[in-house]
Structures are given as C-alpha cells and as structure tokens.
Amino acid sequence: MAEKDDTQGEVGFEDGMKSLEGIVGKLEQGNLPLEESLDAFEKGIGLLRLLHEKLGEVERRVEILVRDADGVLRVRDAADGDS
C-alpha cells in the first residue's frame, strides 16, 4: 500500500487544485506504469474529496455571513454586486 501523502494534511485549496491538475495531466498522458497510475488515481481521489469538503465548509461560512438581522438567509445573484 502507498504511504500517506499530503492529501490528509492541511492543503490550501489552490495548491490542492494545482496538484490535482498535475495528477490528471500525468494520467491523461498514459505513460505511467499500472502501479504508479493506481497510486496517482488514489491520490487524486483523496485530493478531490478534500477539495469538495473545503468547498462545503466555505459554502457554510458564506451562508452564515449572508444571513440578515432576522436570521433569514438571503440569496443574491452575484451580478447584484454590493447594492
């Protein structure tokens, strides 16, 4: 089994995305031996799950920040800006 990597540690979202893009690029080239491909795929899945979790956390934080004084969540279109 492959040893633990940074996917379980604290990885910034942007750094995680760059790593995931690199893994996908290597896999798409098709030049890796089977065992290395499997290891890369496992690492990519771990990163994908971590990044998905981070996006969920950010979404929850944003929802808290956009609640109005009555605690009602107001959803605004991004095109509305700061008005």
d(CA 23, CA 67): 38
Q: Is residue 6 part of a domain?
A: no
Examine residue 4 and state whether it is found in any structural domain, yes or no: no
- 40 assigned to some structural domain: yes
Over its length of 83 residues, how does the chain's per-residue pLDDT go in tens digits? 343 444 445 779 999 999 999 999 999 999 999 999 999 999 999 999 999 999 998 888 887 777 766 777 776 555 555 54
> What is the tally of structural domains in the chain?
1
Question: Is 8 part of any domain?
Answer: no
In a domain, 2, yes or no: no
Which residue segment(s) compose the domain that 21 sits in?
A: 13-78
pLDDT for 76 equals: 59
pTM of the entire predicted model: 0.65
Does residue 36 lie within any of the structural domains?
yes
Q: Torsions phi, psi of 73, nearest 5?
A: -75, 120
